[in-house]
Structure 1
Amino acid sequence: MEKSTKLGFWSIVLMGINIIIGSGIFLIPGTGVKLFGPASILVLIFDAFLIFMVGLCFAECASHFNENGGAYVYTRKAFGNFWGYEVGIATWATRIVAEATIYAGLITALSGVFPQLQNPGPKYALITVIGLALITLNVMGIRISKVFNNILTVSKLLPLILLIAVGIFFLKPTNFQPFFPPELTHMSNFSTAAVTLFYVFVGFEGLVVVAGEMKNTKRNLPLALLVVLLSVTIIYSLIFAVSIGVLGTNLSNTPVPLQAVFSTIAGPVGKWIIVVGSILSMGAIVVGSSFVTPRAGVALANHEMMPAFIKKRNRHDAPYIAIVISTCLVMLIAYSGTFVVLAQIASVARFVQYIPTCLSVIRFRKIIDHDPNAFKVPFGILIPVIATVISLWLLINAKHEQLLLAVGFLVVIAPFYFLTNVRKRHVREGKAD
């Protein structure tokens, strides 16, 4: 790939912001207040602290590699092919399911404006149109995808920035009182709120999956990760503060909290600004996701964990077969509706990437000579250890059925690793003959 066609620093930052800020922030503030009152903003900051520590671990690991794959590449290097395979397949599957969920959210948002989309025919037709449009966009190469991603990311941020800029003039200090409602602020609610709010931050790990598509990866990616996470944390904290300050506990009584906030501030105009913003947000994130998801499959094919044809590229240097396979699987899941169940696996499966990456930092300190110019997590192994412990705590506090589904998925795919090894051995023996 020519260097000029790769992602530059600010394109990396915009892509990172895009794949994190999705539909969650438009819906989750009300849930936070219902679980932990105005103090839910502290829970959000706690989750941001965790995701920042995990991000530091990703940043150090990313400084060792220039290739696509993210957590799969790190785990494979640190702990061997089998664990790399488990993480790699889980990463690809998680991204496919998550992308199907975005399709569903986009359809739901649009059905509020076009009720006919609630019927199967129009719904399936729109899913097909979205899928085919994304295939077309992505097979045209990184230059076109980069332009679309940058434009849509800026567009979807504007309504959120407008909400913050206008909302700060409508804050009522009494809406923050009591800040710690005694009936809500106890440890069991804190853990539930932490698990729930954590998911507004997930997705940043997709950025390291496409490391091979970036300029100066070892220098740009670690810094971009930190800029992305800091920017998203500031935006989320301000949105939470404005939402609570405008509506207070009434925030928990609406399924569309940001619409309710802007409607209170600006009437119907404010409501439609957020409606358009949520549609732009989901449209932008599905474009960003459709770029990242195929690269997770390509990373596996690069290491013979998947058939070699999956990594084939066209004249635009786009992995067109991986793009078609990934998008068709996303469409099938979106058609079937079973993505609601599979999304439970996807939410917990994020930790299948986070925990091995944190542990990989510790392992790499022993097996890789650190480049003095590369990024290094400060305070020795303290941050990777803390990030691992908190991740395990959140995982334990997730719904048991989600945890069982995720573990079951890892068990089911394990035999395919050994079948893949048998196939590779037969291929090599055939070439030898």
Structure 2
Amino acid sequence: MEQKTSKFGFWSIVLLGINAIVGTGIFLLPNKAYALIGPASLGVLLFDAFLAICIALCFAEVAGFFTRNGGPYLYAKHALGDFWGFEVGVLKWIVVLIAWAVMAVGFATALGAAIPALSGDFMKDVIATIIIVLLTIINIIGVNMTKILNNLITVSKLVPLFAFIVIGLFAINGSNFTPFVPDFVELSDGGVSGSFAAAAILLFFAYTGFEAIAVAAEDMENPKKNLPRAIITVMIIVSVLYMLVLAVCIGIMGDALANDKAPLQTAFGQIMGPWGMYFVLAGTLLSMGGINIAQSFLGPRIATSLAEDGMLPSVLAKRTSWGTPVVACIVTGILSLLLAWSGSFVQLAAISAVSRFTQYLPTCISVIIFRKKWAHKERPYKIPGGIIIPVIAIITSIWMLAQAKTEQLIWGLGGCVIILPLYFLYLNKKQRGLLKETDEL
């Protein structure tokens, strides 16, 4: 009798999506957003939710065509051709490198906020180094904790957040929401529009990660049906959760929120005492630790997959006798560590948010292309309203990129140029017939 392979069902996919999105951003960014634009950061978060949902709907439609792993890489390749498929595929690995650096620095930032002796740039670098080196070693050894960690991460994230919202709603002071746009915003560089744009880029990081759901399509039950539904469900849940968390932070802390390094911990500590602060801290660290572990496993495997497809040097596909991608683990760890040393959590979060658009924009564009190219194909989900939502997602994404700082653009999008020599090597291999062609639908 043939044994069935265990795969993710619909609600397992939803939990996976929540785990991929909810992490360092919502725990550490409310203070920075408030410092930029005050209570109006709620409007910024709503704007980001709208953009993220528009992009997610694009993912939901195109994901219905595919059953293979790959996500944005497959969409770009089939819609825009090999060049953009290559760019998106390799940049996906770079995005994960940046994301791991953000998560490691985020963990160090949260720990330093709770324990002053561990704060400061030097200790941030030390803690981030320990995390990345330790997880790289564990990864090489081949310890598999994915299933256990999935449940642990879910509980560690959602229980503190739900407790924070339910209890915090009764401690909100309505006067903390006025004026909605404080005077310091009017007087700042760029005024309201500049502050709004900066906050939008920063807070958008909190929504990134939903694209990871589409990457693991092969491991899901009926992905053409379940993936679109799961993506939409995840984005609605996360958007409501974020709005409530930020509203409670503002309602409890008011202007003090702007200068607090660990806002959720401080706010819960004000209404529940020291145990409330440590309760949220424990959830924060477990959540961030789990995301670090997830990134440490995901990054090397993306590099190995790309190397096996000829997009990265073949040495990255080398495995140990027990199947661990050892070279990819080491290279991924080193590059993530260098990125972690390069900046603060806020700087890296903004860079990470910018870099994600290398995955998002091609996917939104592919919706419009597939409407004509694959008009005859059955699709489990189709965005209502024609191409209005994809067009809105494309225009808004371009506006967001136009508002980013030059440094953020160079770090976030510079990889597009850096990896060009690798594309010509890939093209040469393909023309010589050295690459294995695969049916990728």
Kindly state the Cα deviation for residue 389 of structure 1 after the two structures are TM-superposed.
Answer: 0.2
Structure-2 change in CA distance of 1:110 and 1:260 (3 Å): closer
Change in Cα spacing, 1:131 to 1:312, as seen in structure 2 (3 Å) is closer
Provide the C-alpha distance between the structure 2 equivalents of 1:192 and 1:89, rounded to a whole number of angstroms.
Answer: 27
User: Which residue is equivalent to 1:328?
Assistant: 330
**CA distance 1:48–1:358, change in 2 (3 Å):** same
Q: How many Å separate the matches in 1 of 2:332 and 2:3?
A: 29
TM-score (normalizing by structure 2): 0.86
In the alignment, is the contact (CA less than 8 A) between 2:136 and 2:330 conserved in 1?
yes
Work out the CA distance in 2 between the residues paired with 1:349 and 1:2. Answer: 41
Aligned to 1:238: 244
- How far residue 365 of structure 1 moved from its aligned partner, in angstroms, is 0.6
Equivalent residue, structure 1, for 2:78: 77
- 1:249–1:14 Cα change, 3 Å: same
Deviates more, 1:212-221 or 1:227-236: 212-221
Tell me if 1:399 matches 2:405.
Answer: yes
Greater displacement, 48-57 / 68-77: 68-77
The 8 Å contact of residues 85 and 305 in structure 1, kept in 2 or not, is answered as yes
What is the root-mean-square deviation in Å for CA atoms of aligned residues? Answer: 3.0
Change (3 A) 1:134 1:107: farther
CA distance in 1, matches of 2:12, 2:419: 35
Within 5 A, what are the aligned runs for 1:101-140?
101-110=102-111, 112-113=114-115, 115=117, 118=123, 124-136=129-141, 140=144
Distance 1:2 1:151, change over 3 A: farther
**By how many angstroms is 1:26 displaced?**
1.3
Structure 1: 5+ residue stretches without partners = none
Equivalent residues of 2:357, 2:397 under 8 A apart: yes
Q: Aligned in 2, Cα 1:86/1:48: closer, same or farther, shift over 3 Å?
A: same
Give the whole-Å Cα distance in 2 for the aligned partners of 1:155 and 1:121.
Answer: 25
Higher deviation after alignment, 225-234 or 388-397: 225-234
Deviations 1:102-143 (A, max 9, x none): 123324444555957939878745533222334556x64xxx
User: Runs of 5+ in structure 2 lacking a partner?
Assistant: 187-191, 436-441
Q: 1:27 to 1:114 in 2, by over 3 A?
A: closer
More moved, 297-306 vs 355-364: 297-306
Aligned length: 421
Change in Cα spacing, 1:364 to 1:176, as seen in structure 2 (3 Å) is same
The 1-side partners of 2:357 and 2:85 are apart by 14
**3-state secondary structure, aligned to 1:158:** helix
Any idea what SS the aligned residue of 2:380 has?
coil
Counterpart of 1:421? Answer: 427
> Residue type matched to 2:259 in 1?
N
Which string of whole-angstrom CA distances, capped at 9 and with x for unpartnered residues, describes residues 382-418 of structure 1?
Answer: 1000000000000000111221334432112112111
In structure 2, the partner of 1:388 is: 394
Which of 337, 340, 343 lines up with 1:340 in the alignment?
343
**How many angstroms does 1:152 deviate by?**
1.8
Specify whether residues 115 and 54 from structure 1 end up closer, same or farther in structure 2 by C-alpha distance, changes over 3 A only.
same
Comparing 203-212 with 386-395, which one deviates more in the overlay? 203-212
1:300 to 306, 310, 320: 306
Q: 1:11 to 1:289 in 2, by over 3 A?
A: farther
Structure 2 counterpart of 1:224, from 226, 230, 234: 230
